C-alpha cells in the first residue's frame, strides 16, 4: 500500500468506514508506516471535530447540568 | 488551579428556540487543555466550564445520531460523566480535547442507537425531519454566527460544497455509523461506488480543513 492509499484509508478508518478486510490491510500498513502513519491518523481525527462543528448547537435540558454535577460530587466523595 | 468562569451564552432566536450560541471561550478564560488538566486533577468546576462550553455541540451531535430529544439529554449527561471518569486517558499529544470528546460522544451515540435496535424508527424520523427542514449541516450560517466569526461557519461551507452523493455517504458513515455495505444498501448504490464517494468526500473535507487551519 502506498502512503497515498494509506492516507485515503486513514480518513475512512477514523470514522469507522473501512470494511473488516480493509481494516486488517490498513492495520498492517499502519505498522509499516510507523510514526509517520500514526501522526497522519492523529491528524485525521480532526475530521470528528469538524463534523461536530458543522452542526448547529442544540440546547440541553436545564436540569442535565445540575444532575451531572451532583453525580460528580457524589463520585468524588466515594 | 483557579478557573475563570466561562458561561455559555444563550441567544434568543425566535425561529429556532433550541439553538444556543456558538461556544467561544471568553478572553482570559482557561483553554480546553487547561480544563482537561484540571478535570484530570478532579476539579468539578473545570467540568462545569467544559460543559457550558460544549454541551450544545455534543447535544447536536448526539441528536444527529439518535433523533430523540429526551434520549439525547440522557446520553449527554452520561457522556460528560464519562469525560469526568475517563479524563485520565486523554493525552494532548494525541489530539485536542474537543476531538477527544466528540469521538467519545459519537461512539456512545452510535452504540446507543445499535443497542436499542432503533435503526428503523430513527430512519422514519429522519425521513420526516428531512421533509420538514433542510439538513442541519448544510444550513446557511445565521447572521449571529457570521458576526461571531466562528470557524464552524467555514467548516459548514467546506461540507456544503460537496456533491450531494458524497455528502450523503459521509453523513451516513459518520452520523449513523453505517459500513460501506450498509451505505450501498441504504442508498441503492453499487458497493464499488460507495468507497470512492467516501474517499473523495473525506479528502475534500480534510483538505478544506487544512486550508482553513493555514488561513487562521
Write out chain B's pLDDT in tens, 216 residues.
Answer: 555 544 333 333 333 334 444 455 667 889 999 999 999 999 999 999 999 999 999 999 999 998 899 999 999 999 999 999 999 999 888 788 999 999 999 999 998 888 775 556 555 665 555 554 334 444 444 443 443 345 677 778 888 889 999 999 999 999 989 999 999 999 999 999 999 999 999 999 999 888 776 665
B179 vs B174: CA distance, rounded Å: 10
pLDDT of residue B115: 75
B73 vs B69: CA distance, rounded Å: 6
pLDDT of residue B27: 72
Three cell numbers, residue A22:
480493509
Which ipTM value was assigned to this complex?
0.86
- In CATH terms, the fold of domain B137-216 is Arc Repressor Mutant, subunit A (1.10.10)
Residue A41: name the closest of A18, A10, A9, A5 by CA: A10
Residue B152: name the closest of B35, B36, B61, B34 by CA: B61
pLDDT of residue B136: 43
pLDDT in tens, B78-128: 999 999 999 999 988 878 899 999 999 999 999 888 877 555 655 566 555
Q: How far is A34 from chain B (nearest CA, A)?
A: 15
Interface size between A and B, measured as CB pairs under 8 A: 147
Three cell numbers, residue B200:
473523495
Residues of chain A with Cβ-Cβ distance to B21 below 8 Å are 57
Are residues A53 and B195, on separate chains, in Cβ contact within 8 Å? no
What are the distances in angstroms from CA A5 to CA A16, B170, B180?
Answer: 16, 18, 17
The answer, as to whether pTM is greater than 0.90, is no
- Interface contact B158, partner A, CB < 8 A: yes
- Interface contact A77, partner B, CB < 8 A: no
Q: Which CATH number fits domain B8-133: 3.40.50.800, 1.10.1740.10, 1.10.1780.10, 1.10.600.10?
A: 1.10.1740.10
Domain(s) labelled CATH 1.10.10.10 in chain B stretch across: 137-216
Are residues B102 and A54, on separate chains, in Cβ contact within 8 Å? no
In the DSSP assignment, the letter for residue B141 is P
Through-space distance between the first and last CA atoms of chain A, rounded to whole angstroms: 51
Amino acid at each position: 500500500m502506498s502512503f497515498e492509499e494509506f492516507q485515503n484509508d486513514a480518513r475512512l478508518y477514523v470514522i469507522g468506514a473501512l470494511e473488516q478486510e480493509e481494516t486488517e490491510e490498513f492495520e498492517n500498513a499502519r505498522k509499516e508506516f510507523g510514526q509517520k502513519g500514526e501522526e497522519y491518523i492523529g491528524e485525521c481525527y480532526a475530521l470528528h471535530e469538524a463534523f461536530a462543528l458543522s452542526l448547529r448547537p442544540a440546547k440541553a435540558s436545564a436540569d442535565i447540568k445540575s444532575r451531572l454535577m451532583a453525580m460528580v460530587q457524589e463520585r468524588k466523595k466515594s | 488551579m483557579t478557573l475563570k468562569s466561562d458561561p455559555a451564552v444563550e441567544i434568543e432566536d425566535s425561529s429556532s428556540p433550541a439553538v444556543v450560541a456558538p461556544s467561544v471561550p471568553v478572553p482570559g478564560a482557561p483553554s480546553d487543555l487547561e480544563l482537561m488538566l484540571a478535570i484530570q486533577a478532579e476539579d468539578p468546576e473545570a467540568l462545569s466550564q467544559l460543559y457550558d462550553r460544549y454541551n450544545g455541540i455534543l447535544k447536536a451531535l448526539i441528536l444527529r445520531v439518535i433523533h430523540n430529544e429526551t434520549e439525547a439529554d440522557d446520553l449527554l449527561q452520561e457522556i460528560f460523566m464519562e469525560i469526568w471518569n475517563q479524563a485520565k486517558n486523554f493525552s494532548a499529544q494525541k489530539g485536542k480535547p474537543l476531538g477527544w470528546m466528540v469521538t467519545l460522544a459519537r461512539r456512545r451515540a452510535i452504540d446507543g442507537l445499535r443497542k436499542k435496535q432503533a435503526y428503523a424508527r430513527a430512519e422514519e424520523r429522519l425521513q420526516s425531519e428531512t421533509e420538514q427542514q433542510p439538513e442541519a449541516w448544510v444550513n446557511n450560517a445565521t447572521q449571529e454566527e457570521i458576526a461571531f466569526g466562528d470557524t464552524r461557519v467555514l467548516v459548514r461551507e467546506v461540507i456544503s460544497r460537496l456533491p450531494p452523493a458524497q455528502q450523503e455517504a459521509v453523513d451516513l458513515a459518520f452520523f449513523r455509523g453505517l459500513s460501506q455495505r450498509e451505505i450501498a444498501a441504504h442508498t441503492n448504490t453499487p458497493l464499488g461506488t460507495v468507497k470512492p464517494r467516501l474517499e473523495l468526500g473525506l479528502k475534500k473535507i480534510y483538505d478544506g480543513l487544512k486550508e482553513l487551519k493555514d488561513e487562521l
